[in-house]
Structures are given as C-alpha cells and as structure tokens.
Structure 1
Amino acid sequence: MTKTFRSVRTTAEIAELMAAETASDAFEQAFTETVDGFRMDYADEETGADMPIAAQAELATEMVIRTFFDLFRDTRLEPIADRIAWGIVHSFHKVADQLDGEADKAVRKIKELVHDADGSEIAMAELEEAQTLCHSLDEARDAIACMRDYAAATFSAETGRPWSPPRGSLVSSKRTASVVAATDFLAARRQRRIDAHAPQGPVVIFSGGQLWEDHELLTDRLDEIKARVPQMVLATTAQSKGCDAIAAAWAARTGTPLIAFTLNGKLGQRAGFARNEQLLGLRPVEAVVCEGSGLQSHLARLVRAKGVPAHFFRLADQRAAAA
C-alpha cells in the first residue's frame, strides 16, 4: 500500500480530512460488502448494515497510531511511544487471526455438510447458512487485516522499523447445485489463502550476521536491485538484529513483499543449513550475503554453486564505509 503519511494533531483536522478524503484502493476493496445477510456467529441475527466508510477507517487507523507518538513527543514518555503503538498494531493482528480461525471452523463445517448432503431442503439451508457465516467472517477478517497492515505501515513510518508479530497460513452427478456451489466456494477460498501467503515475483534472497551497523551499505545495494527488479520479493533468514533487521526495515519502507524464513527447531543443529537450502529452492534471481556465522558461509557456497548473481559483503566493508 503506497501512501504519503501526514501528522494529524486535532480532531477538527481529522473531521475535515474524513469529509474530504477518499480511501486507498486497499481500503476500498477491504471495506466493500461482499455478502448479503452478514453474520459472524450462528447465534447472531443476519444484518444488512453497511461496512464502515473506507476513507474514515483508513484515517482512523492512522490517527490511533500517530496520536501516541504526537502525545509523547518531546516528553519523558517519548521512549515508550513505540511500545504502545506496537501493541495497537498487535491487537489488530490478534483479532484478524481469531477471525481467520473462526472462518476455518466454518470451512470444516461446510466440508461436513457437503460430505453428508442428501439434497434435502433442510440440508441445503444448513449449507447456505454455513457458507454465509464463512463468507462474513472472511469479509470481517479482510477489513481488520487491512487496518492492521496500514497501522503497521504507520508504525514503520514513525519508528523506521518494520512491525512484526511476536511469532512468525470432487463433484458427482448426485450432488445438487447448492453443493457444487459450496465446493466452488471452498476452492476459491483455498486459492485466495494460497495467493495471500505466496507473493508472486522474482525472489532475491538475503542473509547476514547480527553484528552489523552500516545500514546504508546494504540499503543502497537493495535499492539498486529493486531498480532492476521492481517486482522483487525479498526472502531473509528472519533474524531480529543486524543485517536481516536492516533488510526488513528496507522492505517495509519500500513496500517490498518479505518472506521471513525462520528456523525449524525440530531439525536441531541442521536447522540453519536446511533453511539455506529452502532459500535456494526458491530459485532466486539474485542474492545478498553478508559476513556472519558459518551459516552465511554455507549459503555463500550454495549461491556460488548454483551460479546465482550475488553480492557479498564482509565486516571489513562496513568498517571501511563508516570510516
């Protein structure tokens, strides 16, 4: 989502902006009604109420994050503004995750009804009810996830750091038309989930040690790569400090999709090497490897063996650059 961030300080300014501004495409899409008879629980009455106005949702999301930075700025509480803002983003994240889980339960219910469908009017009514619930939950989840993503982008704009969560997604002739529609619905939802969790584009892999201070050396090179490969997807080894943290901040600032490859603890000492092999399995178009541990040396060897165009940086390079 590309957006120019502003500093909003008064309720009068907020009201004026809400009245005059239009929403970004992401909010317009996420806040569009997609189902009639909306309900988020079987016990709820269906409602035909509208979604919140997209432009107001966008401005309110930005305001709730920026308010604490503005309130605490130049005061003794300024150092904790980012903690408050992080928690707000995390609340959006938690609710989106909960809605996703509830929708998954609804999907399992649909599968059971599809399996047991006998073509009766009661069975078809139950199936349609389950589809409506699942569709409603997906709609709500998309809206909250959109707000989370924008809140995270606002957090990044204020702090210069990316926000991240605390822990890194058959038809037979006997079936009636309603059952076929349900299987189509499930397939569409499954594909949508796949698309959301599998960014498309040329992959650039990135890995480096945790002891790294020279941000510009790495971000300048990433800028050069993105200029050549504007649709790039960045895949990192997901460390919270040093090189990977610099790369993650760059990805957040430039709107570049980021895939963070965490370690599989079940693999023990081999986890890091298995992760390197996963990265190469993405068939990267370029690689950036910075000096760190033996894992970076291993990745560098794999990159060279595969003939991937690569950029290698040593610790000495940053000391020379910083001098």
Structure 2
Amino acid sequence: MEAIMTNTFRSFSDAARAMNEVRMNDSVLNIDAETQQTYDGAFVESSEMAKLTVFNAPEKLDMPDPEMAAAAVDLMLRTVFDVTRDTRMEEFAADIAWGIVNSFHMVTKRIEGREDDAARKLKDMVEAYDPSEIYAVELEDTQLLCQTLEGCAEAMRCMRDHAGEVFRVETGRPFNTIRGSRVSSKLTASVIDGKDYLAARAAKRREEHAPTGPIVAFSGGQVWHDHEQLFDRLDQIKRRIPAMVLMTTGMNKGADAVAAAWASSRQVKLVRMMLETRYGPKAAFLRNDRIANQRPVEAIVCEGSGVQSDFARKMRTAGVPLHVFRLAEQAPMAPAARSRRA
C-alpha cells in the first residue's frame, strides 16, 4: 500500500510540474515586475544559517526561489478558478480560494507569535548577562532563531498579500479575514548584537503600528461593495504621494475593509485608529478628532452614518483635501455578489 501511495504521489507531482511548465510556457502566469520585486525583497536570507526551533541546531537552509514562490501562489489560486469556471462548481471557487488565502494569513500569525516568544527570550537573556561561553552560544542561537522566524514571517506575508490580490482580481472583491546609548565595555559581542537586533526589531514594530510619513485618512460606512472606484482613487493618491500612510477608522467590513485590502495589495503602511469604547456613544466622534489631530494631507470619506458626516466636516474644517464617495454613485453590484449577500 505504501509503495502504491508513493507512486501515486510521484505521478501527481510529475503531472503538477508538467502543468506548471505548460502554463508558464503559455505565459498564463503573468507576474508583474512590482510583485516580483516584492518577492525578491521578502525572500532575503539575512544569515547563511537558519534556526527554526529552540531544539534544533542551526543548519544551512536556503529560502525558496522568489520567482518560483510567486508562480506557485499565482498558479495555486488561479487553477481553482480555471478548473471550476463555467461549471456547476464555479459558485464555490471563491470560498475555496478564500480558504487558501486565509491559510496564508493564519500561518503568518503563528510564525509572528513564535517570533514574539523568541524575542522575549532574547530580551530576558540580554538583560541577565552571563559571561559564560554557554550563555554566549545560547544567546547567538536565540538571536538566529528570531532572525529566521522574522524572515519566514516576511516571506509568508508577501505570499498572503499576493494571494489576496489574485483573489480580488478573480472574484471582484477584496480578501478580508472576517468574512512595523552607550554599551558597557564588559558586554560581549553576542550581547551587543542581541541588543542591536532587539532595538532594530522594536523600531520596526513601532513603524508598523505608528508609521511615519504623510497620512491619508479614510472613513467609510459598513455597507459598501464597489471596491474598484476606491482602489482607483487610492492608486491615484499613491502616485502623487508614494510614501503615504493610510489611516482608517478600523472597521472590519464595508469601505474600511476595502481600504485595508488595498493597502495590503500595494504594500502601503496601514494604521487602524480603533475606538476607545470607554467613551461610549461619543467614541466614534472622538476618534475622528484623533485622526484630524494627526494632520492628514488628504482624506477619503464614503457615505455611511453620522460618523462619516462628522469625519467629513472635521476634515474640511482642518483644510484637508477631501474625496467624497456616495452610495448611489457605486457601480451596480454583480449578480453573484448580490445573491451571496442575500
């Protein structure tokens, strides 16, 4: 039985490889230069050695080839739609594809959690200096573990964002998970490296959560289906303000979710200004004040509730150039999407 399974798996692998080669030769896989450049930047080996768990010794492991990784993600998602197109199974292709993209998302979160655990251990070790050789080796191994997991998380985020963009192109809607001093001369090089790594990591995390750059503020209602017009306008703004940071009111559906999907697909830094629920009914309006206090250079508002009307008023009062989108100006909802919503 094992031999049969092995031969079957080999036959399947050979068939998949042949299909991949045919599709690539026929130029079905069309990875644009910007996407490939993103993969090249994410699949970087920061060290010749890698360490993936606290138990395993460091070993020489390469990152996947970025071109092959990009092609694999593209092939994985598009094949689902190609196989089911114009069949009775076509209706379910989007659900399957959503599951694939969400799998990338969940694995990314797990890697980030392991990286956080390793970073906490590294911080504790740096603070509890020990001059022994055993300590130095463990410290170097822990830092290598952090660096390896950080690189894997970055690569997985790249694949997730690419898969999400293929999902958007194929389904006509964005992917949404709901459905960045002096050193004592007594310290060893290992401790110094550990401190430098933690400082760099902390700076990166601060940039992820409170990034620097010109802010484009965004607020929209929880009912919104036309993502194309929002993608187009955000693309126009990004061409004028390449270093823009998108700040949204943090909702997980509707227009805010579309804006977050755009930021993910364009590798634009995103800040979600969340509600401070302790303020009760005033929380959303106070959040608008906090966004206005960030001095955005432009703002977008999509018609929604009184919260969006207040947002628009405060942006105009602050002299912020404002782009307004109204519910009635949306393109008609596709029949398939309308039936799913029903």
Range into which the TM-score falls when normalised by the shorter chain: 0.7 to 0.9
For the 8 Å contact 2:245–2:270, the answer to whether it is kept is: yes
Structure 2 counterpart of 1:154: 166
Structure 1 counterpart of 2:56: 44
Query: Structure 2: how far apart are the matches of 1:224 and 1:32?
Result: 30
Choose from 113, 123, 127 the match for 1:115: 127
Q: Which amino acid aligns with 1:136?
A: T
TM-score, scaled relative to structure 1: 0.81
For the 8 Å contact 1:18–1:55, the answer to whether it is kept is: no
3-state secondary structure, aligned to 1:195: helix
Over the aligned positions, Cα root-mean-square deviation in angstroms equals 3.4
- For structure 2, the 5+ residue unaligned runs are 1-17, 333-342
Give the % identical residues. 46
3-state secondary structure, aligned to 2:217: strand
Q: Which amino acid aligns with 1:13?
A: V
Q: Is 1:318 paired with 2:309?
A: no
Structure 2 counterpart of 1:128: 140
Write the mapping of 1:86-105 to structure 2, written as runs, cut at 5 A: 86-105=98-117
Q: 1:88 Cα shift?
A: 0.8
Q: Is 1:12 paired with 2:21?
A: yes
Q: 1:306 to 1:84 in 2, by over 3 A?
A: same
For the 8 Å contact 2:218–2:299, the answer to whether it is kept is: yes
3-state secondary structure, aligned to 1:24: helix
For the 8 Å contact 1:161–1:249, the answer to whether it is kept is: no
Structure 1 stretch displaced more, 224-233 or 278-287: 224-233
Choose from 197, 208, 233 the match for 2:245: 233
Q: 1:297 to 1:185 in 2, by over 3 A?
A: same
**For residues 126-157 of structure 1, what are the alpha-carbon distances to aligned partners after superposition, in whole Å with 9 as ceiling and x for unaligned?**
11111111111112112211111111111112
Query: Structure 2: how far apart are the matches of 1:217 and 1:18?
Result: 27
Structure 1 counterpart of 2:199: 187
Q: 1:105 Cα shift?
A: 0.9
Q: 1:58 Cα shift?
A: 0.8
Give the number of aligned pairs. 311
Q: 1:149 to 1:185 in 2, by over 3 A?
A: same
Q: Which amino acid aligns with 2:72?
A: A
Write the mapping of 1:146-295 to structure 2, written as runs, cut at 5 A: 146-166=158-178, 171-210=183-222, 222=234, 225-226=237-238, 228-239=240-251, 242-244=254-256, 247=259, 257-295=269-307
Q: 1:46 to 1:209 in 2, by over 3 A?
A: closer
Q: 1:301 Cα shift?
A: 2.8
Q: 1:223 to 1:58 in 2, by over 3 A?
A: closer
Q: Which amino acid aligns with 1:97?
A: K
Q: Is 1:58 paired with 2:67?
A: no
For the 8 Å contact 2:164–2:265, the answer to whether it is kept is: no
**For residues 101-147 of structure 1, what are the alpha-carbon distances to aligned partners after superposition, in whole Å with 9 as ceiling and x for unaligned?**
11111111111111211222121111111111111111211221111
Structure 2 counterpart of 1:4: none
Q: 1:29 Cα shift?
A: 2.3
Structure 2 counterpart of 1:76: 88
For the 8 Å contact 1:114–1:179, the answer to whether it is kept is: yes
Query: Structure 1: how far apart are the matches of 2:54 and 2:28?
Result: 34
Q: Which amino acid aligns with 1:286?
A: E
For the 8 Å contact 1:201–1:233, the answer to whether it is kept is: yes
Structure 1 stretch displaced more, 9-18 or 84-93: 9-18
For the 8 Å contact 1:217–1:318, the answer to whether it is kept is: no
Choose from 74, 79, 97 the match for 1:67: 79
3-state secondary structure, aligned to 2:300: strand
For the 8 Å contact 1:263–1:271, the answer to whether it is kept is: yes
Q: 1:267 Cα shift?
A: 4.0
